[in-house]
Structure formats: C-alpha cells, structure tokens
Amino acid sequence: MPSNKPSVLVTGASGFIGSYVVRHLAAAGFEVTALDLREPVTLHPERVREIRCDLRDGALPEGGFDTIIHLAALGGVRPSMERPSDYLATNVAGTVRLLEWARQREVKRVIFASSSSVYGATDGTPSAEDDPLSPCSPYALTKVQGEQWGELYARKYGIDFLALRLFAVWGDGQRPDLALESFRRKILARETITIHGDGSQRRDLTHVSDVARAVEKSIAWTGHGFEVFNIGTGTNHSVNDMLRAAEAWAGMTTEVKYGPAHPADVPTTLADVRKAREVLGWKAEVRFA
C-alpha cells in the first residue's frame, strides 16, 4: 500500500545506527531508500529500496525525497587523529556534495548525525546546545563543519537542517572499537583489556533505539530552518562502570591494564536534554544498567 508519510533517504544505512534507523522508519510506514557503499550486515526490510553509492564521488539517485537522514561518515575520534584528510574528504566534502544535490532537487529537510564531541572538554556540567564548541579531534571538527554547512544551506536555500548531537550511542551491533563491544569481545576471548586513562572518564550512553526515535521525531518536527538538538539521557557512566557491566554480562572477570589518556578523549560527556524534550517531544527510554 502507498504510504502517506514522507519519503526518506538514509545515508550510511548499512552502519550500526543506520541499520536501526532504516528498520525503525520502515516499520513506522515510511517509504525508505537505504544508501551506503557497503552491503548491510543484517538485511534491510523487504520493501526498503537499496542503493550502493560512495557519497564522495558516486552517482547519487535521480529521484527526489522529502527528507534525507544523513548518517554516512567516518566515525571515531581516535582514528581521526591519524587520518585527518580522509575524515575531511568523507565527512565534510561528502556532506557538502549531498547538500548541493538536495538543493538541486528541492529536498525539504536534512537530518544530520552530529556528535557530542563538538563540545570538547567540559567542566562536567550538562552541555547545552548553545554552549561554546571546542572540538578536540579531526572527527569532532568535521561534525562542527557539517553543522555550519547545514546552517548555511538553511539560511540561503530554505532547507530545514536539524543537527542531532548524538551522545555515545550503544546497542547490539555497535562498532567493535567502541568500549562496550571491545570489552565484551576481549572478556570472552580472555584477553587483557587496556584502558586509556584511569577509567574515570564518563560518557552519556544513549541507546541506538532512542536515536532512531529521535530521527522520527525530527522528521515530524513542524518548525523550519536550522536547529540543533542533544540526543542523550542526561546521566553518565564511567568507563570502569562499563567494564564491570561487561564482566557481569559475561559472568567472568578479566585482566585490565591502565595506560596514558588518549589526546583525543575528553573527561566527560553529559547532555542537557531539555530542548529535545520541549521542542521535539523526545526523551530517552532505554537506560544503561
């Protein structure tokens, strides 16, 4: 049956967050096109259209869409320190190319996956959307620049651009280099875990299913123009908390070594979530145990 909901293009649809977003929107009745340069690890729902494309230089689809969910990016603050040019080409140039394509096809709305890393090192109090930005890595800088390009296109061309600053997304299928999944794999393999710093670093852990709901709320938002929203829980947990949770899940303990802090890491992330609650009508439902 034809859907009366907006048609959406999801970039980065084969990734951890993208796969959840595609499944969530398809289940909600949206007409979803999934774009990625890779095959998905888990098959998309049957009625989802799939396109293989590299945003940097691939052939973008001919048809138009009501909304673009832009999730495609190179992720991770630490690897970005070694590959800044790759992050610039993918995360910034790829975003600009997509925005220009959206402008030419009169796309109404772009929802952009930004990051809590744009705030940089904070004093531990909740970060609000109007706080100063101080990125500490090439990855974080590319997210700031993505927001700035989105604001420019909103102002000059009337595209609604919503930047969702995602806080430490977790859940089944997350990237193997992220703390929870790395801990889980190494505990099961009985390998020694190395933690950068003393493990007191704290992260606002946001479940991927809540991110998918935030995307749906952003599609339905009745406002216009450029807006930024924190997508987090408003609570945080230490890296040592995550380690203990992984050990409890596995039913075994592991050897841990503590090393120097990584220069791209920040001590604390913590979201002020009032704006997302009051404007989008969204709040996190899943809490890290």
pLDDT per residue as tens digits for the range 87-127: 999 999 999 999 999 999 999 999 999 999 999 999 999 99
Cross-strand partners of 26: none
**What local confidence, expressed as pLDDT, does residue 3 receive?**
55
Catalytic residue chosen out of the listed positions 87, 119, 139, 153: 139
Q: How far is 22 from 28, CA to CA, in rounded Å? A: 10
Instruction: Give 205-231 pLDDT, tens digit per residue.
Output: 999 999 999 999 999 999 999 999 999
pLDDT at 151 over 80: yes
Residues shown for the chain: 289
Q: How far is 228 from 223, CA to CA, in rounded Å? A: 12
Q: How far is 178 from 268, CA to CA, in rounded Å? A: 16
139 carries an active-site annotation? yes
Q: How far is 72 from 94, CA to CA, in rounded Å? A: 9
Above pLDDT 90, what percent of the chain?
Answer: 88
Q: How confident is the model at residue 78 (pLDDT cuts 50, 70, 90)?
A: very high
Place of tokens 């919503």: 162
Rg, Å, the chain Cα set: 19
What is the rounded average pLDDT of the residues 196-202?
Answer: 94
* Chain-centroid distance, C-alpha 11: 12
Q: Which residue has the higher pLDDT, 186 or 177?
A: 186
What is the number of other CB atoms lying within 10 angstroms of the CB of residue 84? 14
Q: How confident is the model at residue 5 (pLDDT cuts 50, 70, 90)?
A: confident
**What local confidence, expressed as pLDDT, does residue 1 receive?**
45
Instruction: Give 233-285 pLDDT, tens digit per residue.
Output: 999 999 999 999 999 988 999 999 999 998 889 999 999 999 999 999 999 99
pLDDT at 36 over 70: yes
Phi, then psi, of 245 in degrees rounded to 5 = -65, -40
Q: Which of 101, 67, 72, 75 has the alpha carbon at shortest distance from 218?
A: 67
Q: Tell me what the pLDDT averaged over the chain comes to.
A: 95
Residues 6+ apart with CB under 8 A from 167: 116, 203, 204, 205, 206, 230, 231, 232, 233, 269, 270, 271
Query: How would you write the chain as a 3-class SS string?
Result: CCCCCCEEEEECCCCHHHHHHHHHHHHCCCEEEEEECCCCCCCCCCCCEEEECCCCCCCCCCCCCCEEEECCCCCCHHHHHHCHHHHHHHHHHHHHHHHHHHHHCCCCEEEEEEEHHHHCCCCCCCECCCCCCCCCCHHHHHHHHHHHHHHHHHHHHCCEEEEEEECCEECCCCCCCCHHHHHHHHHHCCCCEEEECCCCCEECCEEHHHHHHHHHHHHHCCCCCEEEEEECCCCCEEHHHHHHHHHHHHCCCCCEEEECCCCCCCCECCECCHHHHHHHCCCCCCCCC
